[in-house]
Chain A
């Protein structure tokens, strides 16, 4: 226990250290592949023309300032995703501890509590579906 510096972090970090080092390994691998490609890739010998550097537009000229409009449906989908994701987060501890409650004889109350919780969300979901908040045109 009298180690210092990097070794103590490594030896008492648990699996977090392994996760971070896996990320490092993947990034190193990616950077390696990119640099190898940089080494071998063909360099453009012709000067950079305007046509080459325009973004892809099926051959038409680029239209200015049109790209600031994004359909609002994406925003709605993201907000609804957050709400339902939080509901699912509440479901996980319930699912894990359900059998413990069952063993102590309180299973029915716990089950009913979760069914009522889900019912609120199901009601919300069906309201959204019928109010066309989730319809894409």
Chain B
């Protein structure tokens, strides 16, 4: 990697991180308006058109709040915990491809020849995609524990312990569902998974190849149980209702972020919405085709459609169209997160842990064994 590539990559990392950050006000607006319409009332609709500027006003208000910690808190970790909660979400979001790579042909600009270059639409191009995302998502537990312990209040500590126990319990179901996905696609890397999902639904059935030509080759048709398990486990990982107990209003005041005020709580919410974003992106990439939508919107078909342009612009436009497809699916899943939050009541804590250990984990093991048997018989 020479200097040019390093610079491009650093700018890309910053831009994708800021993409994640700027989705947060959008998501908060969607949540407040959406939840309001679900509850048969209007959300914020006075500040700005449709209430869009409400988040900016709230941010300014949060910036001006007093920065206070009780005498039992530990200042260093107290300030570090919100920043730490952004890191896992940012790293995980960077490993997921948002669109097909752009192939830039050699061109001349400012008297210098810039060589052929492949611009990947992910911050980190790695062959170990899934394993990296799983490992980094596990780091989210650290920021919970640090926040709860360094606040110096018993409520915060218990909230943090409960939140981290919930997070690690559901990580097991998460990892096991992903084993099913790996058995199916035989790869760790996200781009190869998306490539495997373009094309019609076809599989071997006792020696002959069955092709259903109107359905795309999406993971959800092969792994319905795994998809449901992964979805539930991702809800719990993002501390989202119905697994909302760490932030429950009635139970623990505000759980592990009781003592936080001002911008630090905004950063916790950024981390939570970041985890939601990563969860939706994972669902889309594993089970719903990623950034392609066979039969119309695959890289080959769009390249063919745009073949009258030069190869570089062809590639750029293809990438942006497919990025639009990805964003559409991503927003659909984010809406499902918000919708479920305002529909279902919260679980009690022992119900929550029972669900994680006694329901999801056995079913995830069953899913793994059945997927192994099916791959053995049918591949």
A31, A36, A37, A81: the one contacting B172 at CB < 8 Å is A81
Stretch of B24-32, B35-43, B68-76, B328-336 with 4 or more beta carbons under 8 angstroms from chain A: B68-76
Task: Tell whether B87 is near chain A: CB-to-CB under 8 Å.
Answer: yes
Mark each residue of chain A from 15 to 37: 1 if its CB lies under 8 Å from any CB of chain B, else 0: 10111011101110111011011
B50 to chain A, nearest CB (A): 26
Contact (Cβ within 8 A) B165 A107: no
Complex CA gap A10/B71 in Å reads 44
Chain B residues within 8 Å of chain A by Cβ, number: 79
Q: Are B373 and A125 in contact (CB under 8 A)?
A: no
Cα–Cα distance between A22 and B91 once the two chains are bound (Å): 7
Complex contact A31–B155 (CB within 8 A): no
Give the residue name and chain of the B residue nearest to A88 (CB). B175
Could you mark each residue 112-137 of chain A with 1 if its beta carbon is under 8 Å from any beta carbon of chain B, else 0? 00110010011001100100001111
Cβ contact within 8 Å between B67 and A77 = no
**Contact residue among A26, A33, A96, A115 (Cβ-Cβ distance under 8 Å from B17):** A26
A36 to B153, CA, bound (A): 26
Q: Binding site of B, secondary structure by majority: helix, strand, loop or mixed?
A: helix
Interface residues of A, dominant DSSP = helix
B365 touches A92 (CB 8 A): no
Instruction: Note all chain A residues with C-beta closer than 8 A to B10.
Output: 18, 21, 25
Contact in complex: B375, A40 (CB < 8 Å): no
- With known contacts A15-B126, A41-B64, A118-B369, A95–B353 Cβ distance under 8 A: no
Contact with A along B354-379 (1 / 0, CB 8 A): 10011001100100110011011001
Residues of B within 8 A of A96 (CB): 182, 186-188
Query: Are the CB atoms of A44 and B176 closer together than 8 Å?
Result: no
- Give A26 to B253 CA distance when docked, in angstroms: 29
Q: List CB contacts (< 8 Å) of B36-74 with chain A.
A: 62-68, 70-73
**In residues 341-356 of chain B, which contact A (Cβ within 8 Å)?**
349-350, 353-354
**Bound Cα distance A18, B358 (Å):** 39
Give 16 new A-B contacts, CB below 8 A, not counting A74-B165, A88-B175: A11-B2, A11-B6, A19-B124, A22-B91, A22-B124, A26-B17, A30-B82, A30-B267, A34-B82, A37-B67, A37-B262, A56-B70, A77-B169, A84-B361, A99-B375, A118-B369
A-B residue pairs in contact (CB < 8 Å), sample of 13: A10-B6, A11-B1, A15-B125, A25-B13, A29-B21, A66-B154, A81-B168, A84-B361, A88-B172, A91-B179, A92-B179, A121-B365, A134-B357
Top 4 A-B residue pairs of the complex, sorted by shortest distance between their CB atoms: A30-B83, A55-B153, A37-B263, A136-B350
